[in-house]
Chain A
Amino acid sequence: MSITGLGPHGERAVPAGQVTLSDADAEAARQRRFSVAIALHTTTSDWSREELAGMVMTLGRYGAAVVEVVDCGFDADRQVAALLRLAAEPVDAVVSIPIGSNRVSEAHRAISAAGKKLVLLDNAPTGMLPGADYVSVVSTDNFGLGEIGAELLSPHVPHGGTVGILAYGIDFFATHEREIAFRKWVNAHRPDLTLVRGKFPDVSQAGATTAELLASHPEISGMFAVWDVPAIAAVAAIRSAGRTIPVTTVDLGGEVAAELAKGGLVKGIAAQLPFDQGIAAGVATILGLLGREPPPWIALPGLPVTSDNVVQSHQLVWRAAAPPELIRARKLRGS
């Protein structure tokens, strides 16, 4: 697993495993008893829970108290309000996953303008700069995730086929990178394929967008959804249309994993390791608070998941035994 993407400003990735604290820094952090707030797009997804767990554990290990976790409910305005409030509160650092780009950049700047350290997950709003506006972006290699999505889909799409990309209609660096990389891989390795796209404005529209895409391009013979929740909506829409179309996506959510394991429409998943990403974000936050200037782009490679390794991947990603349906499917395949 390698990191193929560059950072939001062209930075070479520093692998998360190489960003560490010395014993002296760890002790210095414990003495200073920092306080940290975390603002996530949601706290209810599996990804968020694991990300949060990694962060909270790491910050606790180095004596930092997590004094607030904000659930922004995918709402940029709510995030703006939360950040502006946190800028005036006695926290030393804020870890945030920006919801969108330009709409939330000023509110994020308010954190650093107030003298607090800002660590970003996944995404730096356009115009925000490392050092001046934030400490680090900690992210999975989203470019690599898109490439994995394309590579896993390719064997299931016939020569000369048409592939639909189910893209996110919000200006979001992480999903853009996945789409750009997916397209690049297809252009380079499967120039015979035609790419078409449907954009859903919010995740509740993903099914309808898929249905429209299928109606306007009935020749579609493969689909890539930029993350798992819209992928599941796409699977339902494909079934409703009475079609059988292979799908790949990003993130090893429970439903896509089950679909993959049972040999359903989902043929491959590019998984993230949110717990590990949370650990890296925690370490970067402590380094930033100590004035250690961690790398501006800290990244983790994506994990290719197929029906062959879905059980083991589940264990790796979610740090738990796979649910019974995954185990059963594995037994049925005799793997």
Chain B
Amino acid sequence: MNRGDRANGADAARAVEPGSGRGRPGAAAQTSLTTLLNLVRTGAATTRQELERQSELGRAVVTDRLATLIRLGLVEEGELGQAIGGRAPRHVRFRTGAGTILAATIGHSSLAVGISDLSGRLLAEHHEAVDLAAGPDPVIERLSSLFTWMREEHGTETGVWGVGLAAPGPVHKPDDDRLFAPVLSAFQNWDGFPFVEALAQRTGAPVWVRSGVQTMTMGEFRSGSGIGVEDMIFVKLGRSIGAGVISEGRLHRGAQGAAGLIGYTAIDGESLEGIAGSEAIAREARQAAESGRSPYLAGVLARSGEVTVTDAGHGAQLGDGFCIELLARAGRAVGEALAPLANLLNPSLIVLGGSVAQTGDILLAAVREAVYRQSHPLVTRDLRIVRSQMSGSAGLVGAAQVVVEALFEPKFLQGWIALGSPREHPETRDFLTRAAEAVKRQPQRPRPPGQVVA
């Protein structure tokens, strides 16, 4: 615990005292503090009058709770607003710098780290190649040293409030709401290695883990094309294919946390990944280059010795007939897999991300055509299908957003708000204790090579 957190924690009982009797804060005080903080944090209310109106709490209670939130360092007073007959109201705002969030994504061949304030806005990000075959230890070391560097560059004195981690493949969801460290089953042969626990121990903060596609979905929802949208589907078209679903403003994870594995959908007897995954497309592109069916790709192969899905995209943009048909076929397959989802969920937005989506408009047009053809007219009336503009940042932004949502989820927030920091939450302390024990129990053995599945 750093100095700021300790000061806040010590101040807690005193801080909530006026509105909640003597000693420990009452449940009612915690509830009203939670309500008011989230109204200020989301910008739904920024003056005392607005807070009274939206929270339906009395003036005295709002004044008292705001004073508490200010003492706890979670809220600060801002500039004067517009006067509407009488004194100008003073704005209050959430102190986004009260804590730091760290975010990391681990992909098949690269990792990324980011640092954000409590709004979830990234202050910095860094991406680099990673060799997962070296096992989990070097990855933990690398994440730790990058986090340390980023905190030195951008961190606040308030410490890390949470870590968001995106893993390739599905991430198991617990049966209850307790903080827990899932096994990263996507990494074959990492079995038994307490990766999440080790990350928690290194950062001294709880870790929330989601699948890569789920964090990308969250990133797109909160900071990309999905801003202002309540129902959307994000589709990652890369080496693997997966979907993330936002339904009525919330990420849908499914019973086991494995919702969205659409890459396994069979289209004309083949898996969707087998038709529209980046490796499948690159394989076909290479064959066409070698056989001469695609003059453009043959030229690329001769020049660089390899052919990628990006080359197929360039070829299509330059009018190469084979590349156009290859990507149109992939797009139709994706559209056919998405149409039933559109009919089922009625989203207002479908966002396509990943390397295959970045190949250009031909794939996008084919997806649109297939979805529109196979969907109910009401479903497609206002449906937008777009390409992601967030590139590889979506996953990092989303990982930070997952932490923001978890920290300020009303039930969790009630557990720490009177203490000033989630680092003081009993669940956080329990999680870190369990993480330390798991790391201690870790068998000392050479790490077998790690491969990624899914």
Contact = CB atoms under 8 A, between A and B. Distances in A.
Interface in A123-148: 126-127, 129-132, 143
Contacts of A7: 127, 391-392
Contacts of A12: 310
Interface string A149-179: 0000000000000000000000100001101
B360 interface: yes
A54 interface: no
Contact of B126 (A102, A176, A292): A176
Contacts of B125: 8-9, 126
Given A183-B145, A187-B145, A295-B310, A130 B389 contact: yes
Contacts of A10: 110, 112, 127, 391-393
A14 B146 CA distance: 25
Contacts of B393: 9-10, 129
Nearest to B146: A180
A200 to B, nearest CB: 14
A198 interface: no
Which residue among B110, B123, B392 has the maximum number of chain A CB atoms within 10 Å of its CB? B392
Interface in A163-215: 171, 176-177, 179-180, 183-184, 187
A5 interface: yes
B318 A9 contact: no
Interface in B314-339: 317-318
A5 B391 contact: no
B153 A171 contact: yes
Interface in B145-175: 145-146, 149, 153-154
B360 A129 contact: no
B126 A9 contact: no
B389 A126 contact: no
A101 B121 CA distance: 14
A219 interface: no
A130 B391 contact: yes
A11 interface: yes
Contacts of A44: none
B406 interface: no
Contacts of A127: 121-122
B390 A5 contact: no
B444 interface: no
A22 interface: yes
Interface in B374-415: 387, 389-393
B129 interface: yes
A292 B313 CA distance: 11
A253 interface: no
A135 B153 CA distance: 28
A27 interface: no
Given A183-B149, A187-B145, A295-B310, A11 B392 contact: yes
B128 interface: yes
A129 B390 contact: yes
A7 to B, nearest CB: 7
A216 interface: no
Interface in A18-71: 18, 22
A96 B303 CA distance: 31
Interface string B109-123: 010100000000111
B389 A101 contact: no
Nearest to A19: B314
Contacts of A102: 123
B304 interface: yes
A126 B122 contact: yes
A12 B109 CA distance: 11
Given A6-B110, A10-B110, A129-B393, A180 B149 contact: yes
A274 interface: no
B282 to A, nearest CB: 13
A287 B154 CA distance: 36
B127 A14 contact: no
A230 interface: no
| Residue of B125, B127, B318 most packed against chain A (CB within 10 A) | B127
Contacts of B127: 6-10
Nearest to A132: B389
A5 B128 contact: yes
B302 interface: no
Given A12-B310, A129-B390, A295-B310, 13 more contacts: A6-B127, A6-B128, A8-B125, A9-B125, A10-B127, A127-B121, A127-B122, A129-B389, A130-B389, A132-B389, A171-B153, A292-B317, A293-B317
25 contacts: A6-B127, A6-B129, A6-B392, A7-B127, A8-B127, A9-B390, A10-B127, A11-B392, A102-B123, A126-B122, A126-B123, A127-B121, A129-B391, A130-B389, A130-B391, A131-B387, A171-B124, A176-B124, A176-B126, A176-B153, A180-B149, A183-B149, A187-B141, A292-B317, A293-B360
Interface of B: 110, 112, 121-129, 141-142, 145-146, 149, 153-154, 303-304, 310, 317-318, 360, 387, 389-393
